[in-house]
Structure 1
Amino acid sequence: MTNPNWTWQPLGELFEIGAGKTMSAAARAGTDKVPFLRTSNVLWDDIDLTEVDEMSIPPSELADKSLKAGDLLVCEGGEIGRAAVWDGRVPMMAFQNHLHRLRPIRGDVEPRFYVYFLQSAFTQLGIFEGAGNKTTIPNLSRNRLASLEVPHPSVAEQREIARALAKVREAIRVHDKAAATAQELKRAAMRELFTRGLRGEPQKETEIGPAPESWQIKAIGHVFEIVQGLSLKGNLSGGSDGVPFLRTSNVYWGRIDLKNVSRMHVAPELIGDRWLRLGDLLVCEGGEIGRAAVWESKEPGYTYQNHLHRLRPLIGGSIEPKFAAAWLEVGFCHRKVYEGAGNKTTIPNLSRARLAELPMPVPAIDEQRDIVAILDAIDRKIELHRKKRTVLEELFKALLHKLMTGEIRVDELDLS
């Protein structure tokens, strides 16, 4: 369904469509290189300049292969149709041949409106299914792109729709930036806390780096019971029946994501002591080895796969699982003290025996809890921004669909 009140025209009647420069050995080795965009730089309604490559382009070709502010870029390959507007933030920027450059040839065209229309058309409405050329790797040729029928409301309406959707997108970016800032604050706090502690003690050098003088260094297997999870062995459930279990894909640094939980067919009595309990520490055996988070749910009936280790404090031990999870992030990601900890197989993995041998710091339990409280406060801030971002993302998708189908009109919106 599309907006019945709009007129429609081929995209090629609204935009001049230019082709980018093909990367070659000569372009790679030449002199006077200029930066250029690839499809990986073009996201939906965003240009990512984190990694920008360069190539040599002859002066005679440069004007034809470079960008101006307001140019609409559309991916020819990869996620075909993905689009964003170049904002001119860099004075000279070229583009590769896997991108199309669309430059308005009429004054009644707002490029950003067409970014949003293409996003809705390709990701929601399905009206351009089959638009890609039928090759081994699907691609959107210039001719196919030019022939796509697109709406052409008044330029005033185009601008109002683009402004409304851009306002929500900007709010999403604000929360992305705030979450990233809080994440960096957490990394800095972790480095400081695991180096100096909270009691103002002198430091000592240890096998895992500097630590407060009173902190003990113990093998993980001396403070935790370690039990590997269950092997699937073809028992994966394809539906909602069976026992829910966690995979490595559910375990992130410091948090567990239950959006996509798999199930397996297994007799409950065979699970034994592999039922998860509040406070269990889960550590990845494969994938990003060592990645760890604590199970904080009181909901019973969950188990875990054999690519995860479950760590439970030994009776009489003085260890806080969330402190250990934070340390593993420091040890694996920041200090790199566990490099080479994985078993040397085709796919690196962290065996139970290797994990049990790894040294970790063990301060007094009250200091562990104080450190956890500081990191939890930062985590709550990060989670707040993530939740707000999720709400705004759903709002954006709903608005995008309703505006492009005519279910609501832009003059009915109040986003103040």
Structure 2
Amino acid sequence: MNEAWTWRPLRELTIRGATWNPRADPRPSIRYIDVSAVSRDELRIVSEATYSAGNAPSRARKIVESGDTIFATVRPTLRRIAQIPESLDGEIVSTAFCVLRPDRHAIDADFLYFATQLESVMEGIAAMESGASYPAVRDVDVLDQVVPLPPLPEQREIAAALNTIRTASLHQAQCEANATALKRAAMRELFTHGLRGEAQKETEIGPVPASWELSTLGTLCESTDSVNLRSEADRVIKYVDVSSISRDYLCIETTPRFILKEAPGRARKRILTEDVIFATVRPTLLRVAVVPDELDNQICSTAFCVLRRDSKISVHNFIYYVVQRDQFVQQLAEIETGASYPAVTDRMVKEQVVPVPSLEEQREIIAILDAIDRKIDLHRRKRAVLDDLFKTLLHKLMTGEIRVGDSASSSLVQLI
């Protein structure tokens, strides 16, 4: 670390904030930030609640100012950290936050926000956690953490570089959200009106184009099979459990390997390339994915309904999209059983009525939805690259390993 830098505890770099007393400060209403209002992915405030002073939560006590950093002290390793924007200047946050108000003579507000994200800070706070079922730390535990402190001009340069990457990442996140919203709207339009501009007919699942058929999902599928434990017992398999599916991305993310005879008891259903697997436990959470080539002839949990298309009736990915429709999920919500562990059976899934256009129109619809999914994936991958770049620069700039303006940092920033 540069000789001009020091390490200082946060308590020496911050100013104590004020608390709100509803009796002494009877505001007509407050805008309140709870821990749940902070996005763990974006590290910013994404929601707020308005209360009359008399109905405010008992935790609504800490007054914040623009530029403050708030750090959640309940389950702190979840990294619910945010900076207060100008729009929330003077508003109220939960006592479950440690409010870090920068002493602007010592530390830049943005630099402080980024410093709290350092691994060394997170590790120090994690070491102070207490409470097995409700882990938490005290404000003093946060304030005791030490951070690197370069001179103010260099702090501002570092913060500006990190903000450049963060802004680009947030832009990609917004583009992804916009594309996801477009997909939902497109699915509603395509499966209700089709692509031919034809008249609609009313059906038990709502309006659909007049030329479309209605069919049970199972009619679109071929039969599937399970593993043979006698002949395949010693086979090494890749196993897809319900937890393997990303609800955000609707794809298979993790596949642990097992010798089949030692695999979990639910590891019984054979899956092939292009199969669609639909989780039957808590079906409204929509854990669905297409089996990729690398998982051909592998094994999934019995908690999935395996949907293998009949190529004479449905095209590639048609089933994948038709089960993502809000209407389909709602149909399952109305018949799921079990209050604490809601589920449906394979039979119940396959008995659901779905709209079926001609093969040609299926292909056209799927081409549109596949294009939107590719756009979503593009923004997702761009954001992942930016997030990795941010983590690298956060560590290297904050520790002085590289400096703003160095060839190394310039090369990294130019990747944006």
TM-score by length of 1: 0.83
The secondary structure found in structure 2 opposite 1:200 is coil
2:58 corresponds in structure 1 to: none
The question of 1:410 aligning with 2:407 is answered: no
Q: Deviations over 1:259-309 (max 9, x none)?
A: 3212333159x9999442222121111133454332232553422111111
Q: Deviations over 1:138-194 (max 9, x none)?
A: 433233333333222100111111111111111110100111111111111111110
Number of aligned residue pairs: 398
Q: How far did residue 118 of structure 1 move?
A: 1.7
Q: Say which of 289, 293, 305 aligns to 1:293.
A: 289
Q: Deviations over 1:332-388 (max 9, x none)?
A: 477x34431323464111202211211111111111111000111111111100111
How is 1:332-371 mapped onto 2 (pairs within 5 angstroms)?
Answer: 332=327, 336-344=330-338, 346-371=340-365
Asked whether the 8 Å contact 1:36–1:52 carries over to 2, the reply is yes
CA distance, structure 2, for counterparts of residue 20 and residue 262 of structure 1 = 50
CA distance, structure 2, for counterparts of residue 74 and residue 112 of structure 1 = 14
The question of 1:281 aligning with 2:279 is answered: no
CA distance, structure 1, for counterparts of residue 290 and residue 327 of structure 2 = 17
The question of 1:372 aligning with 2:371 is answered: no
2:323 corresponds in structure 1 to: 328
The secondary structure found in structure 1 opposite 2:386 is helix
The secondary structure found in structure 2 opposite 1:411 is coil
The question of 1:169 aligning with 2:163 is answered: no
The secondary structure found in structure 1 opposite 2:271 is coil
Runs of 4+ in 1 over 6 A off after TM superposition: 228-232, 270-273
Q: Deviations over 1:56-94 (max 9, x none)?
A: 279xxxxx8422212222222222675332121235411
Q: How far did residue 250 of structure 1 move?
A: 3.1
1:18 corresponds in structure 2 to: 17
CA distance, structure 2, for counterparts of residue 42 and residue 8 of structure 1 = 28
TM-score by length of 2: 0.83
The question of 1:40 aligning with 2:39 is answered: no
2:127 corresponds in structure 1 to: 130
For 2:83, give the aligned amino acid: V
Q: Deviations over 1:98-132 (max 9, x none)?
A: 112222335231022122222113577x3455234
1:107 corresponds in structure 2 to: 105
The question of 1:382 aligning with 2:380 is answered: no
How is 1:65-80 mapped onto 2 (pairs within 5 angstroms)?
Answer: 65-79=62-76
How is 1:73-222 mapped onto 2 (pairs within 5 angstroms)?
Answer: 73-79=70-76, 82-90=80-88, 92-122=90-120, 126-132=123-129, 137-222=134-219
CA distance, structure 2, for counterparts of residue 371 and residue 254 of structure 1 = 22
1:61 corresponds in structure 2 to: none
Q: 1:132 to 1:344 in 2, by over 3 A?
A: closer
For 2:280, give the aligned amino acid: E
Q: 1:255 to 1:404 in 2, by over 3 A?
A: closer
The question of 1:312 aligning with 2:311 is answered: no
CA distance, structure 2, for counterparts of residue 359 and residue 103 of structure 1 = 57
CA distance, structure 2, for counterparts of residue 393 and residue 231 of structure 1 = 44
Q: How far did residue 46 of structure 1 move?
A: 3.5
**Which blocks of at least 5 consecutive residues in structure 2 are unaligned?**
56-60
CA distance, structure 2, for counterparts of residue 15 and residue 272 of structure 1 = 54
Q: 1:306 to 1:122 in 2, by over 3 A?
A: farther
State the Cα RMSD in Å. Answer: 3.7
Q: How far did residue 47 of structure 1 move?
A: 2.7
CA distance, structure 2, for counterparts of residue 142 and residue 123 of structure 1 = 13
For 1:13, give the aligned amino acid: E
Q: Say which of 375, 385, 390 aligns to 1:396.
A: 390
Indicate the percent of aligned positions where both proteins have the same amino acid: 30
CA distance, structure 1, for counterparts of residue 203 and residue 132 of structure 2 = 58
Q: 1:57 to 1:361 in 2, by over 3 A?
A: closer
CA distance, structure 1, for counterparts of residue 389 and residue 380 of structure 2 = 14
Asked whether the 8 Å contact 1:16–1:104 carries over to 2, the reply is yes
Asked whether the 8 Å contact 2:20–2:63 carries over to 1, the reply is no
Asked whether the 8 Å contact 1:242–1:263 carries over to 2, the reply is yes
CA distance, structure 1, for counterparts of residue 328 and residue 81 of structure 2 = 34
Asked whether the 8 Å contact 2:76–2:125 carries over to 1, the reply is no
Q: 1:226 to 1:155 in 2, by over 3 A?
A: farther
Q: 1:32 to 1:185 in 2, by over 3 A?
A: same
The question of 1:250 aligning with 2:248 is answered: no
